[in-house]
Structure 1
């Protein structure tokens, strides 16, 4: 199944050789495309092992692997735009928990997914590792309950 040019309208970064890597927070670089299978419930998972941001107090870099899992509805995030968006956190000063929640909220605004979760596995600094987890399930649907179940069960071994 191929996509028509109408279906690809608005996808400007994929295949472009003139891409600018923004180093300040830039949610406007996110792009979405139509999900051809909105009636199917399935997970899409991204693993981003080179995420960096800055400590808002010291300015020191923080490094993380960011895991994004979502069940799409009508729209899906285009992966190159996601890469550029995550890169834009490079000089963004915020706490780990804030970064994870910002990423989740920006992706909700872009796609309106049925379900989404964002997990940050930040490398230890000062002997402490921080691993924030944020999720969302569309209110009034079975995905709202899924969000609660996954939140309460997340990292239950600790």
Structure 2
């Protein structure tokens, strides 16, 4: 089976969804399952809507994970993140939804999702969620990362 056989979006014209669409996420087999390694996606053009005011929220979403058998295909991730554009959700909800959808897709050993939202009303919000596979060393790693978490942000 070829590496791209089950991927339907890669190499095709992009059709962007107008509302939250987790079904567009696609995965492929990790060729290096015997190795622990870190994968980072930096997504600086994330937008969603405030569910109360309908105002747009802008953020950089950072996704870090240690894959196991499956990995997320980047074009499907881009389309998935774009699907939040007209979706009403609080910042914390966006980060947790993204993490849970990626866990459901890939079942990674470890994953963390950080939202670095631009200020609105003079306040910036930086939600962080993580997960380590239960019963493994990654569960303990997730706990350590959560309790020692801080966001390095360049401030004026």
TM-score of the superposed pair, with normalisation by structure 1:
0.94
The 1:139/1:14 distance shift into structure 2, 3 A limit, reads: same
SS in 2 for 1:151: helix
1:140 aligns with 2:140: no
Aligned mates of 2:141, 2:34 — CA distance in 1? 18
Equivalent position of 1:8 in the other structure: 4
Aligned mates of 1:26, 1:136 — CA distance in 2? 22
Residue 144 of structure 2, aligned match among 129, 146, 149:
149
1:58 aligns with 2:53: yes
Which consecutive aligned stretches of 4+ in structure 1 deviate over 4 angstroms post-superposition?
none
Residue 114 of structure 2, aligned match among 119, 125, 150:
119
The 1:156/1:59 distance shift into structure 2, 3 A limit, reads: closer
Q: How does 1:62-101 map to 2 (within 5 A)?
A: 62-101=57-96
TM-score of the superposed pair, with normalisation by structure 2:
0.95
Aligned mates of 2:151, 2:90 — CA distance in 1? 23
Matched residues, number: 153
SS in 1 for 2:42: strand
Unpaired runs of 5+ residues, structure 2, are: none
For 1:60-110, what per-residue CA distance to the aligned partner results, in whole angstroms no more than 9, with x for missing partners? 000000000000000000000000000000000010000000000000000
Aligned mates of 1:156, 1:114 — CA distance in 2? 22
Unpaired runs of 5+ residues, structure 1, are: none
Q: What's the offset of the Cα at 1:156? A: 7.6
